[in-house]
Amino acid sequence: MKKKLGLADFIDQKRVEIVHEWEVFARSIPRTGPPMTGVELRDHADQILTAIVADMQSHQSASSQAAKSKGHGLAGELVALGRVHAVLRIDNGFKLTELVAEYRALRASVLRLWEDQETDPAGVTRFNEAIDEALSEAVASFTDTTDTFREQTLGVLGHDLRNPLATVVMASSSMLESDDLDDGQRRMLTRIATSAARMTRLVGDLIDLTKTRFGEVITISPTTLDLEQLCTRVATELDVRDGDGSSVVTCTTSGDLRGTWDASRLEQALANLIDNAVKHRARGKVAVTARGDGAEVVVSVHNGGPAIEPTLLAKILEPRVRRVVEPNDTFVGLGLYIAAQIAIAHGGTLTVSSTAEAGTIFSLRLPRVAPVTTTPAT
């Protein structure tokens, strides 16, 4: 009696056809960059199939099968191949979803070719386990590699960009102390110092955005602080001149504004709110108001201008929300999102209201004592 063909042997026999379908699918994935050769598209498909067949043909006890079902006991060859394949796919511009789709397509191709053959339930189970093993390792490798890229990017932003910006701020601020400057030179140096400081804040916002998008929290180091002094100083530093030469940014404080917060983080949040208000005001002043009220303090930033559409208000604190009410169709950017995250880190909230009559008001509500962050950001 002729021995029935098992799925592992069937895969071995159909190897060329299966690898060809792998290449066809990989070629169908839209991507940027130069065209990939057939060898690059096939990548480790043949070796992965070999490892899968070997895994299916190896002895598997009940305990090892149970371990596999829980994501343990990966075969060494599949581990290595899954990792290498994932890294090469990243280099070729593949996304994680596209990497997963490759394995899904491989599974579908094999089972489609097999469906006309005599059944081998045990073989199908082993095949699915092997595919899941390879996919699990590929995803882990893909994630590890992208995490490494993220840390490298944060390193560039945190050091390679911040350091020269700090030098520009320090040098321009020092030169502004000179008594030998004429009005034109002083205005130019002031603009340089202000722009460099704003770029430094933008770099900080981008770092925070990257961290929060990867599941980390904005960390704070609360100390005793008087918000009256902080609000007055930030409003003064970010003030601009109106057409008649008057100040645009005003600051009013009332009540007890002492508490325990992170000074640098609140300065970052307030600067972002003032920057946004100055940018989007249509007329009039930008009014910063800080009020101490019992167990909390409220810092509000108000500007006139077109009302934000109600459908956008719910999304305005997300990064890069398009503001379609303005003729130039500008972007709100990262600042409001980061300000909201800083409020959350302090146990507070950032809310917004906007009407044509009253203008736009962002209100930062903070408990008088901020919680200490327990999860350090990397």
- Residue 250 belongs to what domain range? 223-367
Same domain, 116 and 64: yes
Same domain, 208 and 230: no
Question: How many H-runs (helices) and E-runs (strands) does the chain carry?
Answer: 14, 7
Global confidence as pTM: 0.58
Identify the helix (H) or strand (E) that includes residue 224: strand 223-226
Same domain, 38 and 186: yes
User: What's the CATH number where 341 sits?
Assistant: 3.30.565.10
Q: Which residues pair with 241 in a beta bridge?
A: 247
Please give the Cα distance from 225 to 281 (Å, whole number).
30
Same domain, 206 and 264: no
Residue 373, domain member (yes or no): no
The larger pLDDT score, comparing residue 23 to residue 363, is at 363
Residue 19 CB neighbour total at 10 angstroms = 18
Percent of the chain whose pLDDT exceeds 90: 22
The larger pLDDT score, comparing residue 221 to residue 135, is at 221
Query: Which of 109-123, 146-160, 338-352 has the highest average model confidence (pLDDT)?
Result: 338-352
Q: Is 301 exposed, middle or buried (0-12, 13-18, 19+ CB in 10 A)?
A: buried
pLDDT beyond 90 at 351: yes
The larger pLDDT score, comparing residue 297 to residue 3, is at 297
* Domain end among 216, 248, 272: 216
CA-nearest of 15, 208, 53, 232 to 130 is 53
Mean pLDDT of the chain: 80
pLDDT beyond 60 at 15: yes
Mean pLDDT along residues 163-168: 85
Q: Which residues pair with 226 in a beta bridge?
A: 258
Residue 375, domain member (yes or no): no
Please give the Cα distance from 137 to 29 (Å, whole number).
21
Concatenated DSSP letters of 161-177: IHHHHHHHHHHHHHHHT
Torsional sign, CA 342, 346, 347, 350: negative
* 346 contacts 261 by C-beta, under 8 angstroms: yes
Determine the pLDDT at residue 70: 46
Same domain, 18 and 46: yes
Half-sphere exposure of 87 (CA within 13 A, CB side): 11
Please give the Cα distance from 3 to 20 (Å, whole number).
28
CA-nearest of 342, 361, 343, 365 to 352 is 361
pLDDT beyond 90 at 256: yes
The larger pLDDT score, comparing residue 353 to residue 125, is at 353
User: What is the band of 3 on the pLDDT scale with cuts at 50, 70, 90?
Assistant: low
Residue 377, domain member (yes or no): no
The larger pLDDT score, comparing residue 2 to residue 191, is at 191
Same domain, 211 and 235: no
Determine the pLDDT at residue 328: 44
Please give the Cα distance from 92 to 311 (Å, whole number).
39
Residue 168 CB neighbour total at 10 angstroms = 16
Token pair 């946004």 in the structure block, residue: 276
Determine the pLDDT at residue 363: 97
Task: Determine the residue type at 265.
Answer: R
Range in 114-123, 319-328, 366-375 with the lowest mean pLDDT: 319-328
Same domain, 130 and 265: no
Longest CA pairwise span in the chain (Å): 105
Tokens coding 66: 């149970």
CA-nearest of 282, 283, 294, 223 to 257 is 294
CA 173 vs CA 168, 178, 191, 196, 329: distances in Å: 8, 10, 11, 11, 35
Q: Which residues pair with 349 in a beta bridge?
A: 365
Please give the Cα distance from 288 to 361 (Å, whole number).
10
Write the DSSP symbol of residue 260. Answer: E
CA 22 vs CA 44, 96, 109, 145: distances in Å: 10, 17, 8, 23
User: What's the CATH number where 67 sits?
Assistant: 1.10.490.70
